[in-house]
Amino acid sequence: MKNGRLNRTLIRNNMKSSTGGGAGDRRFQYLALSPAIVLLLLIGAFPVIYNLVLSFQSQTMLDPDTSFAGLANYQELLSDNRFWGAISHTLIIAGFALPVQLVLGLLMAHLFVGELPGKRLFIALLILPVVIAPVVAGAAWRLFLDNSFGPVNAIISWFAGGPVKLLWTVDPTLVYPTIIIVEVWQHTPFVFLLSLAALLAVDRSQVEAAQIDGASGWTVFWWITLPAIMPVLGMVMLIRFIDIMRIFEMVLSLTEGGPGTRTETLSLYTYTTGFKDFSLSYTGAIAFVTIIMMSVVLWVILGRMERGR
C-alpha cells in the first residue's frame, strides 16, 4: 500500500517534469541541456562563424592579411565561372547517379526479399564496393578503363574485332558517364542494404491481404510497399544527395577534375582554392556560400519529407 502510494507520487513527479510543469523545472531542463548545446555550438557553429569572418578578409596561406576586405570575395565569387561550373558539374553527377542508384538498389533489394540460396554470401559480395575507399575505387577504375592496359577496352576491342580507342577519363564525351558509372557502382550497395532492411520490415499481412484480393505485383508495390518504405527511401536519397554534393576523392583519382575543369566538382574546386592556390579567404567565401545553399536545399527537402509524413 505504502509502496503503491510512493510509486504514484514518483510517476506524478516524472510526468510533471516531463511535461515541463513549472518555471523552475524548465530552468533546470535548460541548465541540464546547456553543456550539450554549448558543445554543439562550438563544434557546429564556430567553424561556420570563423569561415564567415575569414571570407571578409584577404588572407592567403602566404600572406596572413586580416584586414577587412568587405564583400570583395563574394563579388568575385559571383563572377567566378569556375565556381558555378563546379556546382553544375556536381549537380550533373547527382542528377544522373542518384536516380540510377535508387532504382538499381531497390530492384536488387526486391530480389533479396524472399528466400534465396547463398543469400548471405551474395549480400556480402554485393556490398563490397561500398567498403572500398573512394580514392581507391577511382584509381582502380582508372586502371580498368586505361586504353592500353585496362581490361574494359580490351573486351570492347575483342567484340569490335579490332582496337578501339576509348579515352574514358580524358574524352569530354566519356568523362561524365565514367564518373556516374563508378559512383553508381560504388554506392548502389548502400541503397540496396537500406532498401532491403526497409522491405523486410514491410507488414506482410497487408501484402498478403492485397494479394488475396487479387492485386497485381505492381499494385502491391505501388500502394503498399512503396508508401511503407518511403520514409527510409527519403532518408537514403537525402544521405546520397549530401554525399554526392561532397564528391571528391573518386573524381580526383579518376579524372583529376579534367579535362581542364570539365569534371571539377564543388569539393575539388574548394580544395584547389584552399590547398593549391592557398586563397584562404576566398575559400572561406566558397565554403560559406556552399553551406548556405546546402542548408536551404536540405531545409526544403526535410520540410517536404515532414509534410509527406
Residues 275-294 that bind other proteins (CB under 8 A): 275-279
Residue 147, interface with other proteins (CB under 8 A)? Answer: yes
Residue 146, interface with other proteins (CB under 8 A)? Answer: yes
- Shortest CB 99 distance to other proteins, Å: 27
Residue 47, interface with other proteins (CB under 8 A)? Answer: no
| Closer residue to other proteins (CB): 171 or 243 | 171
| Closer residue to other proteins (CB): 105 or 257 | 257
Q: Which stretch binds other proteins (CB under 8 A): 57-65, 118-126, 128-136, 243-251?
A: 57-65
Residue 63, interface with other proteins (CB under 8 A)? Answer: yes
- Shortest CB 184 distance to other proteins, Å: 22
Residues 162-201 that bind other proteins (CB under 8 A): 163, 165, 167, 169-172
- Shortest CB 258 distance to other proteins, Å: 4
Give the count of residues interacting with other proteins (CB under 8 A): 28
| Closer residue to other proteins (CB): 148 or 205 | 148
Residue 256, interface with other proteins (CB under 8 A)? Answer: yes
Residue 44, interface with other proteins (CB under 8 A)? Answer: no
- Shortest CB 42 distance to other proteins, Å: 20
Which of these, 234, 223, 120, 244, lies nearest to 179 by C-alpha position? 244
Interface contacts to other proteins, rule CB under 8 A: 61-64, 146-148, 153, 163, 165, 167, 169-172, 256-262, 272, 275-279
